[in-house]
């Protein structure tokens, strides 16, 4: 017999709890089942026709598709709510957006709370129920949050300075509510929201949520309180009302209270915790304090807290919510919109133990000099504090654990006031210090760093530290964490991190090296100050890692800092200053700012020549760098001059088989390929590849570079099969080395797309590779890959041209042209290709005068840059011949074809397909000439 899937969910509609059963986990099936259930309910007691509705999960997230339905049913029990759409203008199924991305200027979707009435109620002592000492801590924490941090008017039934207020009878609660209801009806006030909180016991009586007061068997219906402030208090009509029910009762289900236009948000949090302050309240206060600086929506804050609780807390604690908010709610300090902000961001949240120290340090307190060295000044500040704390622990020989991570609450596994000694927040980072000899990580993921001082650490289940576990050598780590860094004895040593960073850099693990070099920089800033020469060293190493990762803006900032320190501490012609100039030249070269790159390379070369002599290896490296920039500018003769100087020094100093010589061979090969001397180019590439294979092995990036260069040369020769063979070998190495989304991989996708474009019936493959390359480069579009993106646009344009979509093709060629003209001069050989492609499209569109204009411009610049005998000049003549042929100007067409034929025969021979194409055109001209007579 075939098994049928039956999945149940609880659905709350008005005051009724309904059951829904699905046989398939699809959005369509869920809506269909809900409609049937609601139709049945309507026949019984719904008071109005059933309108359309939206479906929400227990986290108040709208459900829109199959994936979301499946995720909801992964966690049992399943609670669903529906929001009936009474307003015809309300969009039925809007696309979900992350609340943090909402635009604050859209006043229709945003409500700013800056002056709510806050009512805190709760009972700590009971006649028949267990006493709840933790309620007092929760109420004090909430009062501190709203009153001291936000400046709101707060009224609480509990006052730590008044004896007996831990008791709250029903009469006392009614009196409190009546007082604030009457005050708000009789007085003119400017409250723009209500926050009501209950802390204490709760229950379900007659299918209603009730709040149990201190006196014998008495309670207050939550719905009565809601009605009081929703309908009987004029001040809060059409204003947000937030009800937080922090109850120790185990079974508090959600009741759907969807009053039309009620604008209500209800949170139920249940816990059996009796003695300690409630985890939800503590986390809520922590996040809300940070919100003063970062201003996230209340819905975002609640969803963040919910996820954190679901992730870190198992039974018996649970959180649920319902909402009828139609706007995104944001909390601001009371004085925010009065041009006066008073924030006591260091106010202490009360813990059970007075030994716990907590600081909240706003990021604008960070010293300016830290900002200059690292854009993430909060990260730097947090690490400096963490290092100080660890050094203090090591000095005192304490057995402690320090955790430092971002945007998540600390693990409940070690969330104990008995062990936690310190808590510091530098938004958005948290630092926690725990005192314990033995620590067990039980199914925990810490998104950050952990420092262990003489501890024993064990792990159970899925444990992971996303950055590093930095531990003293006396610590015992009984779990295979990935990134283990031993330190000590004594203070944390920057040199240790530096060497580990160098090791990671040498392995091309640039993310790892960046983390380690940043640690080293933090320590040196802390111990040496911001102008010490060793700080310049750390900045340089960090800049080199950013450079290799492709983040040139950060690399530039690091190298500028290093140069500034070195110029302040060293002579202006010191070798280390030359290295800084050289590094800046490399960054500007990568960014496509070639004139700036030449300026810095020449400064570096001048110092090297003065200090080291004309035959030093550093001088040879400078020649290579200058040769590369002139190559990028399309000035090939200048480039050859510098690379030949470099090669001579390398051969004299290093011998003919040294690995560094391959750079000169490689570069000369590339230049000769661009000059159209393809056989000479291949000769240099063979020399480079032989040495690289011998010295580096077959899987090195430089081997991939040589293989790619072979592919380029054979492509220009028109030997496309051979070209693809080399490109694919290079691609295999780079995929293995860098992964699928690295720009080096995208470079090869680009050239493969170009090769397949020139092969018959391979347009789909060309498009596939071009699309892959463009997708990768667009992810790195602000990191110096503009020219590669331009090439991607050209491939897209060529695909469209081949499909006959000439107008669209021209759009992409013009995009490429725009990018290239920002980087290089109009006469650059790569710009010429844009003119060439545009001329070809215009020819097909029969706009022949415009086609001639672009074709002749391309020819003019190619003659200027490449000389009269370059294959690309031949291609310009061939294109112009085709345009003149279309114009029926046979004489000019014949002149162009003959010039192209001479060039192609010289470079490719008579049997090459390019030569044959020209010869076919000339035969066609002869045929037409005969017809004429």
pLDDT one-digit tens code per residue, 280-331: 888 888 788 777 755 678 887 887 777 767 655 554 346 777 777 767 788 8
Q: Residue 60 — very low, low, confident or very high, per pLDDT cuts 50/70/90?
A: low
50 within some domain:
yes
Q: Which helix (H) or strand (E) holds 713?
A: helix 701-716
Answer for the pair 267, 284: CB distance below 8 angstroms, yes or no.
Answer: no
Domain match, 749 and 898 both: no
**Which CATH number does the domain housing residue 264 bear?**
3.40.50.1460
Domain match, 381 and 298 both: no
Number of domains in the chain: 5
For the segment 405-434, the average pLDDT, to the nearest whole number, is 56
Does the pLDDT of residue 246 top 80, yes or no? yes
Domain match, 249 and 131 both: yes
**Which CATH number does the domain housing residue 52 bear?**
3.10.20.90
Main-chain dihedrals φ then ψ at residue 586, nearest 5 degrees: -65, -40
111 within some domain:
no
Does the pLDDT of residue 430 top 70, yes or no? yes
Tokens of 104: 């604050």
What pLDDT is attached to residue 415? 45
Q: How far apart are CA 53 and CA 84, in angstroms?
A: 4
Does the pLDDT of residue 358 top 60, yes or no? no
Does the pLDDT of residue 341 top 50, yes or no? no
Residue that is last in its domain, among 823, 839, 862:
823
What pLDDT is attached to residue 861? 93
815 within some domain:
yes
Helix axes 279-294 and 298-312, enclosed angle (nearest 10): 140
Q: What percent of the chain has pLDDT over 90?
A: 34
Domain match, 258 and 302 both: yes
pLDDT one-digit tens code per residue, 490-517: 556 788 888 888 988 888 888 888 888 8
Q: Residue 49 — very low, low, confident or very high, per pLDDT cuts 50/70/90?
A: low
For the segment 53-64, the average pLDDT, to the nearest whole number, is 71
Strand partners, 434: 401, 420
Helix (H, G, I), strand (E, B) or coil at 221: strand
What pLDDT is attached to residue 485? 60
Helix (H, G, I), strand (E, B) or coil at 147: helix
Residue scoring higher pLDDT (308 or 565): 565
What pLDDT is attached to residue 180? 85
Q: Residue 853 — very low, low, confident or very high, per pLDDT cuts 50/70/90?
A: very high
Write the CB contacts of 639 (distance below 8 Å, at least 6 apart in sequence): 627, 628, 630, 631, 667, 671
pTM, 2 dp: 0.49
Nearest 10 degrees: Cα torsion 667, 673, 679, 685: 30
Domain match, 131 and 257 both: yes
Domain match, 855 and 813 both: no
Most confident of 171-180, 218-227, 579-588: 579-588
CB atoms within 10 A of CB 809: 25
669 within some domain:
no
Write the CB contacts of 543 (distance below 8 Å, at least 6 apart in sequence): 554, 555, 556, 557, 558, 559, 562, 583, 587
What pLDDT is attached to residue 484? 57
Q: Which helix (H) or strand (E) holds 435?
A: strand 429-435
Domain match, 54 and 135 both: no
For the segment 750-760, the average pLDDT, to the nearest whole number, is 86
pLDDT one-digit tens code per residue, 867-913: 899 999 999 999 999 999 999 998 999 999 999 999 999 988 888 88
For the segment 98-115, the average pLDDT, to the nearest whole number, is 58
Domain match, 143 and 256 both: yes
What pLDDT is attached to residue 483? 59
pLDDT one-digit tens code per residue, 211-235: 999 887 788 988 888 888 877 777 7
Does the pLDDT of residue 360 top 70, yes or no? no
Nearest 10 degrees: Cα torsion 539, 544, 549, 551: 60
173 within some domain:
yes
Euclidean distance between the first and the last CA atom of the chain, given in angstroms as a whole number: 88
What pLDDT is attached to residue 376? 57
Q: Residue 202 — very low, low, confident or very high, per pLDDT cuts 50/70/90?
A: confident
Residue 78's domain comprises 7-84
Domain match, 844 and 791 both: no
Tokens of 142: 């909430």
Question: Is residue 316 reached through a cis peptide bond, with omega within 30 degrees of 0 on the bond before it?
Answer: yes
Q: Residue 642 — very low, low, confident or very high, per pLDDT cuts 50/70/90?
A: very high
For the segment 631-654, the average pLDDT, to the nearest whole number, is 92
CA distances from 403 to 308, 382, 755, 825 (A): 17, 11, 53, 53
What pLDDT is attached to residue 558? 94
For the segment 148-170, the average pLDDT, to the nearest whole number, is 89
* Structural Rg of the chain based on CA atoms: 36
For the segment 709-732, the average pLDDT, to the nearest whole number, is 93
Answer for the pair 724, 711: CB distance below 8 angstroms, yes or no.
Answer: yes
Q: How far apart are CA 563 and CA 578, in angstroms?
A: 9
Nearest 10 degrees: Cα torsion 50, 53, 59, 63: 140
pLDDT one-digit tens code per residue, 829-840: 999 999 999 999
What pLDDT is attached to residue 335? 76
Domain match, 818 and 849 both: no
Domain match, 410 and 464 both: yes
527 within some domain:
no
State the chain's mean pLDDT as an integer: 79
Q: What percent of the chain has pLDDT over 70?
A: 77
Query: Which stretches does DSSP call E strand in 291-352?
Result: 318-323, 328-331
Sign of the Cα torsion 234, 238, 244, 249 reads positive
**Which CATH number does the domain housing residue 863 bear?**
1.25.40.10
What pLDDT is attached to residue 913? 87
Residue that is last in its domain, among 443, 478, 513:
478
Write the CB contacts of 293 (distance below 8 Å, at least 6 apart in sequence): 345, 362, 363, 427
Residue scoring higher pLDDT (460 or 904): 904
536-550, 642-656, 749-763: least confidently modelled range: 749-763
Residue that is last in its domain, among 457, 478, 499:
478
Helix (H, G, I), strand (E, B) or coil at 513: helix
466-475, 649-658, 828-837, 879-888: least confidently modelled range: 466-475
| Complete DSSP assignment for 489-557 | SSSPPHHHHHHHHHHHHHTT-HHHHHHHHHHHHHHHHHHH-TT-HHHHHHHHHHHHHHHHHT-HHHHHH
Answer for the pair 703, 689: CB distance below 8 angstroms, yes or no.
Answer: yes
Q: How far apart are CA 678 and CA 712, in angstroms?
A: 9
Domain match, 813 and 854 both: no
For the segment 433-456, the average pLDDT, to the nearest whole number, is 73
Q: Residue 108 — very low, low, confident or very high, per pLDDT cuts 50/70/90?
A: low
pLDDT one-digit tens code per residue, 508-546: 888 888 888 888 887 788 778 888 999 999 999 999 999
For the segment 394-398, the average pLDDT, to the nearest whole number, is 62
550 within some domain:
no
Q: Which helix (H) or strand (E) holds 82?
A: strand 79-84
220 within some domain:
yes
Tokens of 641: 């001059």
Q: Residue 25 — very low, low, confident or very high, per pLDDT cuts 50/70/90?
A: confident
Q: How far apart are CA 171 and CA 215, in angstroms?
A: 9
Q: Residue 407 — very low, low, confident or very high, per pLDDT cuts 50/70/90?
A: very low
What pLDDT is attached to residue 156? 94
């Amino acid at each position: 017999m075939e098994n049928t899937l039956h999945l149940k969910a609880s659905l709350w509609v008005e005051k009724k709890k309904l059951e829904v059963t699905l046989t398939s986990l699809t959005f369509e099936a869920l809506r269909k089942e809900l409609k049937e259930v609601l139709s049945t309910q309507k026949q019984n007691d719904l008071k109005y026709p059933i309108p359309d509705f939206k479906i929400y999960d227990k986290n108040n997230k709208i459900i829109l598709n199959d994936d979301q339905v499946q995720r909801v049913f992964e966690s049992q029990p399943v609670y669903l709510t529906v929001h009936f759409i009474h307003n015809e203008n309300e969009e039925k199924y809007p696309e979900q957006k992350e609340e943090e991305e909402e635009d604050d200027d859209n006043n229709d979707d945003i409500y700013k709370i800056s002056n709510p009435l806050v009512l805190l109620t709760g009972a700590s002592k009971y006649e028949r129920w267990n006493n709840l000492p933790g309620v007092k801590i929760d109420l004090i924490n909430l009062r501190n949050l709203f009153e001291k941090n936000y400046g709101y008017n707060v009224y609480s039934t509990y006052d730590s300075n008044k004896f007996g207020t831990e008791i709250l009878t029903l009469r006392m609660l009614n009196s409190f509510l009546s007082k604030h209801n009457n005050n708000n009806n009789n007085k003119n006030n400017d409250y723009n929201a209500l926050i009501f909180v209950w802390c204490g016991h709760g229950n379900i009586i007659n299918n209603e949520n009730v709040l149990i007061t201190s006196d014998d068997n008495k309670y207050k219906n939550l719905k009565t309180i809601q009605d009081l402030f929703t309908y009987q208090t004029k001040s809060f009509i059409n204003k947000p009302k937030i009800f937080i029910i922090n109850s120790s009762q185990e079974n508090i289900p959600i009741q759907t209270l969807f009053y039309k236009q009620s604008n209500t948000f209800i949170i139920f949090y249940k816990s059996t915790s009796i003695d300690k302050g409630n985890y939800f309240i503590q986390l809520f206060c922590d996040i809300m304090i940070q919100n003063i600086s970062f201003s996230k929506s209340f819905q975002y804050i609640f969803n963040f807290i919910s996820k954190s609780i679901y992730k870190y807390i198992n039974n018996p604690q649970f959180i649920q919510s319902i909402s009828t908010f139609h706007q995104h709610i944001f909390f601001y300090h009371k004085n925010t919109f009065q041009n006066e902000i008073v924030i006591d961001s260091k106010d202490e949240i009360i813990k059970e133990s007075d030994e716990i120290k907590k600081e909240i340090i706003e990021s604008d307190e960070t010293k300016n000099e830290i900002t200059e060295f690292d854009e993430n000044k909060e990260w730097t500040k947090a690490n400096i504090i963490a290092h100080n704390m660890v050094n203090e622990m090591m000095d005192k020989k304490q057995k402690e654990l320090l955790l430092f991570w971002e945007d998540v609450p600390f693990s409940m596994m070690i969330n104990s006031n008995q062990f936690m000694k310190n808590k510091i927040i530098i938004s958005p980072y948290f630092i926690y210090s725990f005192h314990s000899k033995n620590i067990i990580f039980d199914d925990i993921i810490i998104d950050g760093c952990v420092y262990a001082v003489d501890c024993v650490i064990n792990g159970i289940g899925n444990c992971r530290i996303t950055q590093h576990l930095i531990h003293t050598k006396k610590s015992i780590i009984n779990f295979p964490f990935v990134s283990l860094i031993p330190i000590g004895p004594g203070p944390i040593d920057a040199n240790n991190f530096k060497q580990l960073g160098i090791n990671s850099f040498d392995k091309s693990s640039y993310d790892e090296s960046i983390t380690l070099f940043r640690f080293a920089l933090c320590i040196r800033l802390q111990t040496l100050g911001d102008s010490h020469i060793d700080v310049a060293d750390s900045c340089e190493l960090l800049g080199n890692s950013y450079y290799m990762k492709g983040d040139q803006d950060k690399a530039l900032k690091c190298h500028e800092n290093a140069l500034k320190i070195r110029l302040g501490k060293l002579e202006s012609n010191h070798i280390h200053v030359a290295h800084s100039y050289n590094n800046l030249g490399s960054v500007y070269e990568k960014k496509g700012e070639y004139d700036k790159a030449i300026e810095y390379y020449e400064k570096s070369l001048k110092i090297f020549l003065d200090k080291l002599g004309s035959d030093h290896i550093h001088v040879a490296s400078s020649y290579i760098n200058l040769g590369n920039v002139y190559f990028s500018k399309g000035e090939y003769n200048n480039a050859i001059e510098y690379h030949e100087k470099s090669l001579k020094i390398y051969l004299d100093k290093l011998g003919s088989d040294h690995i560094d010589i391959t750079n000169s061979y490689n570069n000369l090969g590339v230049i000769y390929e661009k000059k159209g001397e393809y056989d000479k180019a291949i000769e240099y590439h063979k020399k480079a590849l032989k040495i690289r294979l011998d010295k580096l092995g077959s899987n090195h990036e430089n081997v991939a570079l040589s293989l790619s260069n072979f592919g380029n040369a054979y492509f220009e020769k028109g030997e496309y099969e051979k070209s693809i063979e080399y490109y694919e070998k290079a691609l295999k190495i780079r995929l293995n080395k860098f992964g699928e989304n690295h720009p080096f991989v995208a470079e090869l996708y680009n050239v493969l797309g170009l090769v397949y474009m020139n092969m018959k019936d391979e347009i789909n493959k060309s498009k596939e590779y071009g699309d892959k390359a463009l997708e990768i480069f667009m992810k790195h579009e602000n990191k110096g890959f503009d020219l590669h993106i331009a090439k991607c646009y050209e491939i897209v344009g060529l695909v469209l041209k081949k499909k006959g979509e000439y107008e669209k093709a021209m759009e992409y060629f013009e995009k490429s042209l725009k990018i290239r003209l920002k980087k290089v001069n109009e006469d650059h050989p790569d710009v010429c290709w844009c003119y060439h492609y545009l001329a070809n499209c215009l020819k097909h569109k029969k706009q022949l005068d415009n086609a001639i204009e672009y074709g002749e411009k391309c020819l003019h610049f190619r003659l200027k840059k490449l000389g009269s005998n370059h294959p690309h000049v031949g291609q310009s003549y061939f294109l112009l011949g085709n345009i003149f042929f279309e114009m029926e100007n046979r004489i000019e067409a014949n002149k162009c074809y003959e010039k192209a034929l001479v060039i192609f025969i010289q470079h490719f021979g008579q049997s090459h397909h390019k030569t044959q194409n020209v010869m076919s055109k000339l035969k066609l001209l002869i045929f037409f000439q005969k017809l004429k007579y």
